[in-house]
Chains A and B, each alone.
Chain A
């Protein structure tokens, strides 16, 4: 463990925020691949012990500043990552992948997370082959025109992302009317709920960077 005594000069110099004064900041929602830079120092690779590697789940994530920063508390990172992977990738039954990503995109658009929205709108477009619909959601916001099934998923996700939570029986009835069964509705709920978590980490621990000009 590193020293965490706040009053010692050593920790004051070691523990300060990272500012990125010359960063090229994206100012719109996009499906382009963005970078992300941390506002706090990630755990240096030289300080990784077994519990930190275990928390990463995928060892290659030590190279990601986001995961290397979260590795400072590896137990919650590991549990978070396993929750994330099961909610989005376990598609043996339940909601198709594209619509889980739609729930993630709608939540990220509503919360204002440009980075998360970029990643998951790209996934939603890829799996649905409906890039134009996804782009309209990014450009016009969560009220953008959509077909009834996507409308129901987006409305439920937005209501769930609001504080206080605004999801009600009417949203559930509309999802059922669009053909979703209970497990598929539970998948919408989990996908949207997870992004209330993810958005707040990505938004508060660093910021996105626009891709380099081609």
Chain B
């Protein structure tokens, strides 16, 4: 039973070949497999992109996978960012993004999850960690919108229990609309899933 079908990013990231153990395992969960890919498509090749650009989507993805130290997915999204940033329609200023995002990945790497709970019995479990913010020197290169997105991505990856209305207000203040924030949240959160499916299935090969 081999069902490798048209492009499937998780298969690509795993280097899955037809008839391999992972191919057969994934073939037994065809709905999960198809909808993991449909999720990727909805976020990175959207039919209705709204006001979140391809460059923004891939820049956030490169950052999220980079701070995960997730080699294969990181290379994949870094490559997609470079492609998007140098595409004919992209702004001239976008060309500096891959390098700026790479620098932010290096600054943002740490171990999680950590952070504080609402005050109460769980406070004994509060744990400290990096309070990352994009470096001031790179805010001009990234722009206000993308800098705010990377700040938010780091919060969601490493200390999601500290998410707050103020964090969403910071995104609104940086020009992200309510619908944009839903897309951004899904994108960051989906990647935390995709990275883990790849990391887990890799061990079953």
Kindly identify which residue among B125, B166, B193 contacts A193, using a CB–CB cutoff of 8 Å: B193
The residues of B that contact A162 with a CB separation of less than 8 Å are 111-113
- Distance, CA A129 to CA B201, complexed state (A): 30
A28 touches B122 (CB 8 A): yes
**B203, closest chain A residue (CB):** A172
Residues of chain A within 8 A (CB-CB) of B16 are: none
Per-residue CB contact flags for chain B residues 37-53 toward chain A (1 = under 8 Å, else 0) read 01101110011101100
How many contacts A-B (CB < 8 Å)? 213
Among A110-154, those with CB < 8 Å from B are 110-113, 141
Q: Which residues of B contact A197 (CB under 8 A)?
A: 189-190, 192-193
By a CB distance below 8 angstroms, the chain B residues around A193 are 192-193, 196-197, 200
Would you give the shortest CB distance from B140 to chain A, in whole angstroms? 18
- Kindly identify which residue among B70, B115, B165 contacts A164, using a CB–CB cutoff of 8 Å: B70
Q: Is A61 an interface residue (CB 8 A)?
A: no
User: Could you tell me if B178 and A40 are in contact, using CB atoms closer than 8 angstroms?
Assistant: yes
Tell me the bound Cα distance from A1 to B183 in angstroms. 14
Kindly provide the distance from the CB of A24 to the nearest chain B CB, expressed in whole angstroms: 11
Interface string of B156-171 (1 = CB under 8 A from A): 1110110111111100
CB–CB A190/B197 < 8 A? yes
Q: Any chain A CB within 8 A of the CB of B188? A: yes
The secondary-structure label for the interface of chain B is helix
Minimum CB–CB distance from A178 to chain B (whole Å) comes to 15
Q: Verify if A59 is at the interface (C-beta below 8 Å from B).
A: no
A160 proximal to B (CB < 8 A)? yes
Interface string of A36-80 (1 = CB under 8 A from B): 000111000000000100000000000000000110110111111
A contact patch SS: helix
Count A-side interface residues using an 8 Å CB cutoff: 72
* A4 and B160 within 8 A (CB): no
**B199 close to A76 (CB less than 8 A):** no
> Is B39 in contact with A79, judged by CB distance below 8 angstroms?
yes
Question: Is residue B138 contacting chain A, with contact meaning CB distance below 8 A?
Answer: no
Does the CB pair B195–A113 fall under 8 Å? no
Asked whether A196 lies within 8 Å of B182 as measured between CB atoms, the reply is no
The answer to whether B119 and A19 touch across the interface, beta carbons within 8 angstroms, is no
Contact A40 B160 (CB under 8 A): no
Q: Looking at the complex, which one of B32, B113, B156, B169 makes contact with A204 (CB distance below 8 Å)?
A: B156
In the bound assembly, the distance between CA atoms of A1 and B69 in angstroms comes to 37
On whether the beta carbons of A200 and B188 are closer than 8 Å, the reply is yes
Q: What is the 8 Å Cβ interface bit string for chain B, positions 63-96, against chain A (1 contact, 0 not)?
A: 0000111100000000000000000000000000
Is there a chain B Cβ closer than 8 Å to A169's Cβ? yes
Query: Known contacts A113-B161, A160-B199, A193-B196: does B185 contact A90 (CB below 8 Å)?
Result: no
Write the residues of chain A forming the contact surface with B, with a CB cutoff of 8 angstroms: 1-2, 4, 6-7, 11, 15-19, 25-29, 39-41, 51, 69-70, 72-73, 75-80, 82-83, 85-87, 90, 93-94, 110-113, 141, 160-165, 167-169, 171-172, 182-183, 185-186, 189-190, 192-194, 196-201, 203-205
